[in-house]
Amino acid sequence: MHGAAAESFPEWIQYLFVGASAFAIFVGTVFTYIKKAIPARPGSDVTVVAAAFADKRTIEQLIEALDANTSSERRRTASLEEHSEATRQNTDALINMLVFIRRRAEQETPLRGGAHLQGE
């Protein structure tokens, strides 16, 4: 050790400094390696990588979830179709009723406001 600067930096602190910095870089690289996100862009080979990144079991679970979702969607669609049919029938009934009322009104207009109404 030489000089004032050297006196303020004992050898063990120098080794510690070098060792700690090397360790920090090592930890940083390992962390980056573990946490590196694979960018997924449609159409690129990286998408394939991202898809294949999931292991076999995860893919099976995904397929099961998709199947369940598809069944649920089918049931919902069937229910919507039924609902739609009921709504259509209701609308038809309403239209029929309106047509009936209109015809009735047309037939009875000449008599409206007179003795005919009172008679009824």
Partner 1 sequence: MITIRLAKHWRIRRSEWLLALCTTALGVVYLLSPHLFDEPKWFTTMRSIMPQLWWGWLALGVGSMRLTVLFINGAWRASPHLRCVGAQVSCALWMTLFVSTISSEAIVQSVGFWALFFVFDAFSAIDAAGDARIEDEKARAARLGAESGDARRGC
Nearer to partner 1, 19 or 88 (CB): 19
Residue 68 near residue 74 (C-beta atoms within 8 A): no
SS3 content of the chain, % helix, strand, coil (to 5): 85, 0, 15
Rounded least distance, CB 87 to partner 1, Å = 47
Instruction: Assess 117 for contact with partner 1 (CB under 8 A).
Output: no
Chain-centre distance for alpha carbon 56: 23
Applying CB under 8 A, which part among 22-30, 71-79, 88-96, 98-106 lies near partner 1? 22-30
Residue 117 near residue 111 (C-beta atoms within 8 A): yes
Q: Which of residues 35-64 bind partner 1 (CB under 8 A)?
A: 36, 38, 45-46, 48-49, 51-53
Give the whole-angstrom CA distance, residue 81 versus residue 77.
6
What region, left, alpha or beta, does residue 58 occupy, with left being phi > 0 and alpha being psi -120 to 50 degrees?
alpha
Applying CB under 8 A, which part among 1-9, 61-69, 75-83, 111-119 lies near partner 1? 1-9
Instruction: Assess 69 for contact with partner 1 (CB under 8 A).
Output: no
Binding residues for partner 1 (CB under 8 A): 1-6, 9, 11, 14-15, 17-18, 21-22, 25-26, 28-30, 32-34, 36, 38, 45-46, 48-49, 51-53
